[in-house]
């Protein structure tokens, strides 16, 4: 199967040029000023006036995540369709075992759950407790191509890990050549804050951010960086939301420590005033960490532009209005999470590139290239180049539209971006050399995506 893209402006993280791009089967095989084909069997797309991006990689999604309010409303099938619609062709989800469960058993279970995923996909593996044979299990995961791990310093009653176990995991991951993702919050302090607030009858969503003030993130970030230095372990701090956290991250990077950082669209676009109002309007924004102040938003945009933050993931974990209402009388019971996998590229293009906060090359770096580099997918993913996988987004920079919960493809009746105007659209989405989306419809029957084994 051959697919030829003509006259598009190819954009990578480090260059931009007008060229034709030829894909054969699932690979890019030629990039040249003018490519002509003599047969009639090839598919040809005229990309004049459009950008040609490498397919988006969302390194942080939670499909089919269990909670006390039920599973998150997107499973791998619906969530991956939404991802493709928005120009994301690869996702990295999570394997989170029970306390006594072996990692390989949990991986097998999660692979079954992901058997109807339509994008390419992989997993970060989450050790939730240190066992005597955990070092061997971590090495086994890396040998299987699951080279990244994630731990939580919050949620101590379920999946959170103790500081002693965290250091052991860090030393093991570092020794075997992996990378550790960390959800950085002071779990004990947050639990104490929540208990005190509810004792005082302060139970509405307004008190969610007050239970998780900025220091509970930034101090946890500082602690994690210090432990990682001791353990000689590369770390990746997920969903950074505060300027204080950024200062610790930036200092560590200047010292040469391997500390990578991610933020999410919600922290770039909304502040904590969203928790003022009626439950139906505010519960949608309950996520952890919570939304912060305007000055934090400004600091995050600066950190995107200067390279302190390496990726923009979504932490995609949507719930329905009914599920959020489980906490109508107690904010602690509101399932934490929002959707966004469908809108990541459009939001960052509109409010980053079009607004002049970041360049078009930085956009590609943040949405694809850096995730590919950090998580062992580059140069197969994250670049338009000969030999790379033919995961391609042909982007119409002039298309204008409005996000709506009535027309999105995420399986939820909530969308925190509802009513926001966006500029730019993935006119064509190509996965493994196959045209998946064209205009306002999926152009081919979707098939099961590939499990990505990573270096």
Q: Which helix (H) or strand (E) holds 10?
A: strand 2-11
How far, in Å, are 128, 161, 237, 277, 362 from residue 157 at the CA level?
A: 11, 9, 21, 30, 39
The pLDDT, as a whole number, for residue 446 is 86
In a domain, 381, yes or no: no
Q: Are residues 7 and 62 in the same domain?
A: no
Q: Are residues 13 and 120 in the same domain?
A: no
Q: Total domain count for the chain? A: 2
What mean pLDDT value characterizes the chain? 97
What is the rounded average pLDDT of the residues 182-207? 98
The pLDDT, as a whole number, for residue 363 is 99
Give dist(CA 220, CA 228) in Å, integer.
12
38 falls in which pLDDT band (50, 70, 90)? Answer: confident
Whole-model pTM over 0.85: yes
134 falls in which pLDDT band (50, 70, 90)? Answer: very high
Q: Which residues contact 302 (CB under 8 A, 6 or more apart)?
A: none
In a domain, 146, yes or no: yes
What is the rounded average pLDDT of the residues 337-349? 98
Q: How far apart are the first and last CA of the chain?
A: 28
Q: Are residues 94 and 157 in the same domain?
A: yes
Q: Are residues 225 and 165 in the same domain?
A: yes
Name the residue among 52, 75, 61 with its Cα closest to residue 409: 75
42 falls in which pLDDT band (50, 70, 90)? Answer: confident
Name the residue among 56, 57, 74, 54 with its Cα closest to residue 65: 74
**pLDDT tens digits for range 54-84:** 999 999 999 999 999 999 999 999 999 999 9
In a domain, 277, yes or no: yes
pLDDT above 80: residue 392: yes
Name the residue among 320, 288, 283 with its Cα closest to residue 410: 320
Identify the DSSP state of 369. I
Q: Are residues 20 and 62 in the same domain?
A: no
Q: Are residues 172 and 230 in the same domain?
A: yes
In a domain, 403, yes or no: no
Q: Are residues 393 and 252 in the same domain?
A: no
Q: Are residues 164 and 98 in the same domain?
A: yes
How far, in Å, are 63, 84, 147 from residue 150 at the CA level?
A: 16, 25, 11
Q: Hey, is 439 helix, strand or coil?
A: coil
- Ranking 27-41, 78-92, 176-190 by mean pLDDT, the lowest is 27-41
What is the rounded average pLDDT of the residues 85-89? 98
The pLDDT, as a whole number, for residue 55 is 98
Q: Are residues 141 and 254 in the same domain?
A: yes
Q: Are residues 46 and 72 in the same domain?
A: no
218 falls in which pLDDT band (50, 70, 90)? Answer: very high
User: Which CATH number goes with the domain that contains 258?
Assistant: 3.20.20.140
443 falls in which pLDDT band (50, 70, 90)? Answer: confident
CB atoms within 10 A of CB 383: 24
The pLDDT, as a whole number, for residue 445 is 79
Q: Are residues 109 and 242 in the same domain?
A: yes
How far, in Å, are 58, 197, 226, 425 from residue 433 at the CA level?
A: 19, 54, 44, 20
Enclosing domain of residue 20: 2-53+386-398+424-442
Q: Which residues contact 112 (CB under 8 A, 6 or more apart)?
A: none
The pLDDT, as a whole number, for residue 78 is 98
Hunting for tokens 């590609």 — which residue is that? 364
DSSP secondary structure, 407-426, as one string: T-SSSSS--TTTT-EEEEEE
In a domain, 113, yes or no: yes
The pLDDT, as a whole number, for residue 295 is 98
pLDDT above 90: residue 104: yes
User: Which CATH number goes with the domain that contains 42?
Assistant: 2.30.40.10
Q: Are residues 323 and 175 in the same domain?
A: yes
**pLDDT tens digits for range 269-327:** 999 999 999 999 999 999 999 999 999 999 999 999 999 999 999 999 999 999 999 99
């Amino acid at each position: 199967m051959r697919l030829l893209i003509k006259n598009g402006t190819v954009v990578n993280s480090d260059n931009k040029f007008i060229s034709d791009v030829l894909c054969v089967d699932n690979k890019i095989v030629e990039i040249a000023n003018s490519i002509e084909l003599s047969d009639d069997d090839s598919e040809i797309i005229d990309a004049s006036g459009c950008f040609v991006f490498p397919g988006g990689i969302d390194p942080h999604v939670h499909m089919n995540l269990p909670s006390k309010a039920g599973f998150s409303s997107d499973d791998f099938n619906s969530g991956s369709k939404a991802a493709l619609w928005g120009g994301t062709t690869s996702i990295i989800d999570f394997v989170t075992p029970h306390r006594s469960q072996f990692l390989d058993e949990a991986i097998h279970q999660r692979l079954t759950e992901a058997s109807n995923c339509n994008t390419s996909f992989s997993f970060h593996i989450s050790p939730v407790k240190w066992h005597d044979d955990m070092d061997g299990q971590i090495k086994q995961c890396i040998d299987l191509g699951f080279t990244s791990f994630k731990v939580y310093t919050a949620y101590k009653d379920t999946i959170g890990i103790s500081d002693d176990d965290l250091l052991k995991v860090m030393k093991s991951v570092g020794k075997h050549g992996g990378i550790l993702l960390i959800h950085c919050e002071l779990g004990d302090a947050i639990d104490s804050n929540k208990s005190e607030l509810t004792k005082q009858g302060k139970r509405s969503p307004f008190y969610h951010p007050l239970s998780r003030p900025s220091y509970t993130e930034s101090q946890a970030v500082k602690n994690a960086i210090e432990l990682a230095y001791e353990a000689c372990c590369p770390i990746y701090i997920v969903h950074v939301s505060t300027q204080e956290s950024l200062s610790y991250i930036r200092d560590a990077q200047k010292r040469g420590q391997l500390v990578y950082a991610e933020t999410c669209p919600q922290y770039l676009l909304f502040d904590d005033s969203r928790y003022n109002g009626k439950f139906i309007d505010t519960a949608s924004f309950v996520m952890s960490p919570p939304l912060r102040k305007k000055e934090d938003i400004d600091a995050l945009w600066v950190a995107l532009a200067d390279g302190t933050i390496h990726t923009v993931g979504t932490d995609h974990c949507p719930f329905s209005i009914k599920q959020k209402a489980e906490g109508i009388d107690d904010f602690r019971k509101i399932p934490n999470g929002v959707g966004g996998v469908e809108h990541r590229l459009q939001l960052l293009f509109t409010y980053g590139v079009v607004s002049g906060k970041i360049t078009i090359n930085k956009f590609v770096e943040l949405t694809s290239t850096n995730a590919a580099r950090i998580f062992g997918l580059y140069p197969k993913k994250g670049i338009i180049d000969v030999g790379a996988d033919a995961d391609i987004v042909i982007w119409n920079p002039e298309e204008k539209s409005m996000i709506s919960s009535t027309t999105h493809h995420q399986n939820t009746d909530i969308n925190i971006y509802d009513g926001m105007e966006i500029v730019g659209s993935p006119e064509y989405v190509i996965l493994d050399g196959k045209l998946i989306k064209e205009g306002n419809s999926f152009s081919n029957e979707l098939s099961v995506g590939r499990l990505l084994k990573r270096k």
